[in-house]
Structure 1
Amino acid sequence: MKALLITTLYSPFQIDIANEFKQEDGVSEYHVAFTVLSSKVRGNHWQVSSSVDGKYIHSIDSDGDCDHIVQWLKRLIEEIKPTHIILGRWRGCVAIEIARYYKDLDVKIGYWTEPPNFLLPNIVQFSLALYSRYLLRGADYYFSIGARCENIYRDILTKKRHVYQLSYGQDLSEFFSIDDTLRNKKLTFLFSGQLIKRHNIHWICDAILKLHLIYPNKFKVIIAAKGPEQHYIDKMIINEPQLGEVVSYDREYEHWSDRIRPFMKSDVLIYPTSHSGWGLVIPEAMAAGMAVLSTRKAEAANYFLRHDVNGRVIEHTKESLHDGMEYCLLNRDDVGRYAKQARIDAKCGTASYVAERLKLLLNKV
């Protein structure tokens, strides 16, 4: 068996999964093809590494030229001769053309995607649902990121028994190696990701301000993110200059492994998102020995987070975020208990764990 994953933006965590494959377990080769090498919203640490093994990892610098990408992929497929093609998305000219061209040939076509964006207007969601039914009607299998995604595509696909939940995975070894005794005595909250609207940065600022007024000098906040919602943080500090001593930044990374720094200094991840197709920062925080505060709008929270066991589930409101952060401030022993269990539970998010499940599913379909 030979498998080829065709995905868009170069993703270091997909490299981690590919690196776990050995010439065994019925999967003789596992290849990954990236069709987009960089993004303006990603930092330097998302760039293609020169150390990537070119034998199984393939990429093209295409500037988005669909026909150019498709022709390159067809040559690559002819060279590899995969038995399974896994598409990282079902929309877009590349995915549609590859699925159309190979659907009647001796290769199994499937998908591995995140759930749709539930923040889109209802009419758009309805249109996409109809479109997906048309495009996916002949899919041989579907690997869904999270339970919500699984439910959606089990309803759509003809071959319902070949819809499986398969999370992302990554090399978490550096996060597991963090010595939590090195952290600050003050409880430190971390937001990691992007400063964008769906992550409700204004809620975070509101909670910081209110907690600072009640518990001055009792906590710190690290922002490991960039984005257009930065103005909320700037305005907060202008209005309350003392918060300049509370809020700090750690967000300039040259390499993927540099992202570990803010996790080394933090106790609680705050993730009040309105939508996240996965949320890599959740298993990263858990592996680092941190508690997690998150809404259920992140698929990784649905997969990993157990309320009052390895973190706290918050409602999708600014009040719930505030209350969750306050609870952690007042109950440090519980934060420590969550962190210990989180490290255990994060093992289900490692690249080796996910690669083993991927091997099992590829042999099954």
Structure 2
Amino acid sequence: MRQPPVVLFVTSYVSPFMTELTAAVNDLGQVAFHAAYLETSQFANHGAHWNTAAERPDTHRRPADVPVTDFLRDWFDRYRPQVVICGYGRGPAYEATFAYCRRTGAVFGVFAEQPMRDGRLKHLARRAYYAQLWRRMPPTFVLAVGDRAVQFYRRLLRDPEAAVFFPYYQDLRPVLAIPDRPARDTLHFLFSGRLAAQHGIRGLAAAFEKLAQTHPGRFHWCVSGTGDEERWIRQAMARCPALAQAVSFDREFATWNDRLRPFAASDVLVLPSFHAGWGLVIPEALGAGMPVITTRGVEAARYYVEAGVNGLFVEPHPKDIHRALAFCLDHPQAVEAMRRHTRASVARGDVRVGAARLVDVLSRWL
């Protein structure tokens, strides 16, 4: 009996999302898909619950006492993958993975977000760096997270059409199982994610401070995340007692699915990011029956959002965010109408859809 072709995904930190995709691909039985996690610790900005995903025989974490190059060499020697997908677009792990692919004849591809857009000069410098590196060590294809990522990487590939749109996928069954919340007088807003500058936390805190002044006692704001930008929320709470009474924090999770607890207790997600390569809280919120207030900077996740249908787009600035928050409070019937279009809008983001699509994309090189 012919053995299925082997595909290896090499990435940094343990990711429950990648573990879910690995399982879903292998359930199809067309390829033998493995995920190799090179980092031995957990990303500091991810809670401990990121490490609680069940270990599987098709996911492999590098032991702390084994160098990256030895770990990769053993993997290539043992499994002989036909296709390798690298979650690094640059750096030593990228170069080592490329070298092993060249040595063994494996097709080398990349799974990548668009680099951070934090200034035109920095963005041009990153593009020049990628161009120089990828001339020497070119990937055959790129699974690009978002349409802007597709545009960025197509400029760098020898075959521009080999940069294909491929967002993150996840097992949406747990969020789809969250019951609908009954309408209530006090609307519950949620921010979920890292409290980082790229998510517009300073402007978000200012918008909620103003909302506590224009609509006191009519909302609750749950913050589910940690990070340095929490200081802006704390400062706003100190200035505005009405806001302090409306804010709570829910961010200590023992297991992976515990992270959904605040989704089950909230009505509207607010994510005013300047840049969010993943944006996975958006399909999670929509799957949980929550309209979203977000920006067009959330990359791949924004293709789930239809303005006025299941959410609202804003600019990541306090006045615009406040306007959207106030709209939700002043027009509860509009929120309820958007809620009815949330769950169905994320069907294309389910991990089983992503698994079938990944196998189809890779069939060109298998």
TM normalised by structure 2 equals 0.93
The counterpart of 1:130, out of the listed 103, 107, 128, is: 128
Alignment-mate amino acid for residue 314 of structure 2: I
Q: Distance in 2 between matches of 1:230 and 1:104?
A: 47
| Matching residue of 1:13 | 17
The superposition leaves residues 96-122 of structure 1 with CA deviations (integer Å, 9 ceiling, x where unpaired) of 122133225421100011110001x43
| Matching residue of 2:333 | 333
Cα distance, 1:142–1:212 mapped onto 2, change above 3 Å: same
Q: Does 1:317 align with 2:317?
A: yes
Conserved? CA contact 1:114–1:144, under 8 Å? yes
Q: CA RMSD in A?
A: 1.8
The superposition leaves residues 330-358 of structure 1 with CA deviations (integer Å, 9 ceiling, x where unpaired) of 12122122222121111111111111111
Q: Distance in 2 between matches of 1:101 and 1:364?
A: 21
Q: Distance in 1 between matches of 2:216 and 2:84?
A: 55
Conserved? CA contact 2:12–2:37, under 8 Å? yes
Conserved? CA contact 1:139–1:159, under 8 Å? no
Local SS of the residue matching 1:254: coil
Local SS of the residue matching 1:132: helix
Cα distance, 1:256–1:23 mapped onto 2, change above 3 Å: closer
Residue 182 of structure 1 deviates from its aligned partner by: 5.3
Q: Distance in 2 between matches of 1:234 and 1:347?
A: 37
Cα distance, 1:22–1:214 mapped onto 2, change above 3 Å: same
| Matching residue of 1:58 | 60
Q: Distance in 2 between matches of 1:236 and 1:347?
A: 38
| Matching residue of 1:76 | 75
Residue 24 of structure 1 deviates from its aligned partner by: 4.4
| Matching residue of 1:354 | 354
| Matching residue of 2:45 | 41
Aligned residue pair count: 358
How do residues 203-352 of structure 1 correspond to structure 2 at under 5 angstroms?
A: 203-352=203-352
The more displaced of 14-23 and 290-299 is 14-23
Residue 183 of structure 1 deviates from its aligned partner by: 6.9
| Matching residue of 1:115 | 114
Residue 39 of structure 1 deviates from its aligned partner by: 2.1
Conserved? CA contact 1:183–1:265, under 8 Å? no
Local SS of the residue matching 1:181: coil
Alignment-mate amino acid for residue 127 of structure 2: A
Q: Percent identity?
A: 29
How do residues 93-172 of structure 1 correspond to structure 2 at under 5 angstroms?
A: 93-103=92-102, 105-119=104-118, 121-137=119-135, 138-172=138-172
TM normalised by structure 1 equals 0.93
Alignment-mate amino acid for residue 75 of structure 2: L
Conserved? CA contact 1:82–1:107, under 8 Å? yes
Q: Distance in 2 between matches of 1:24 and 1:278?
A: 25
Q: Distance in 1 between matches of 2:184 and 2:12?
A: 39
The superposition leaves residues 48-95 of structure 1 with CA deviations (integer Å, 9 ceiling, x where unpaired) of 54x311x210011448x8xx1122111111111111000001211011
Q: Distance in 1 between matches of 2:31 and 2:301?
A: 33
The unaligned stretches of length 5 or more in structure 1 are: none
Q: Distance in 2 between matches of 1:102 and 1:82?
A: 9
The more displaced of 121-130 and 76-85 is 121-130
Conserved? CA contact 1:112–1:145, under 8 Å? yes
Q: Distance in 1 between matches of 2:171 and 2:28?
A: 20
The more displaced of 93-102 and 147-156 is 93-102
Q: Distance in 1 between matches of 2:330 and 2:291?
A: 14
Local SS of the residue matching 2:342: helix
Local SS of the residue matching 1:33: strand
Residue 199 of structure 1 deviates from its aligned partner by: 1.5
The more displaced of 122-131 and 293-302 is 122-131
The unaligned stretches of length 5 or more in structure 2 are: none
Alignment-mate amino acid for residue 218 of structure 1: R
